[in-house]
Amino acid sequence: MNRTRVFTGSPWEPLVGYCRAIRIENRIEVAGTTAMKDGEVVGVGDVYEQTRFILQTIEKALQELGAQMSDVVRTRMFVTDISDWQEIGRAHGEFFRDVQPVATMVEVKALIDPLLRIEIEVEAVVQSQLR
């Protein structure tokens, strides 16, 4: 089984032992992704901005593996305040309005940094061969 991985350079990837995304044949799994850049939280206090940043990060990882957002079949959103669902949904809709993957949003007690309000993971299925 051939595995192609994407790394973002996060200091946690080698420490914890994970990658941002992995492709096995035509399936891609993207790890839980937060609004972190260079060790800093992006969009502090703005769940919409955090969601957009996360989805842009996921999109880049998918592209590195020969996929696009239209190949996404599932999103999972872990949020620290479920009442933020409308702003999260607005950003999610900007990326997936026409794709309409199955989606789950659940409230969690906390994320790895208290300034983070959302974490997203996705699954994609692609028809093209990886080059």
Per residue in 94-126, pLDDT tens? 999 999 999 999 999 999 999 999 999 999 999
* Number of neighbours of residue 131 by Cβ within 10 angstroms: 4
Q: Which of 107, 100, 117 is nearest to 36 (CA)?
A: 117
pLDDT number for residue 41: 96
- Could you tell me which residues come within 8 angstroms of residue 26 by beta carbon, excluding any fewer than 6 positions away? 125, 126, 127
Beta strands at 102-107 and 72-79: parallel, antiparallel or unpaired:
parallel
Its sign, for the CA torsion 126, 67, 49, 111, is positive
pLDDT greater than 90 at residue 8: no
| CA distance linking residue 103 with residue 12, whole number of Å | 26
pLDDT number for residue 129: 64
pLDDT number for residue 57: 97
pLDDT greater than 90 at residue 131: no
Q: How confident is the model at residue 38 (pLDDT cuts 50, 70, 90)?
A: confident
Residue range 25-47: mean pLDDT, rounded: 95
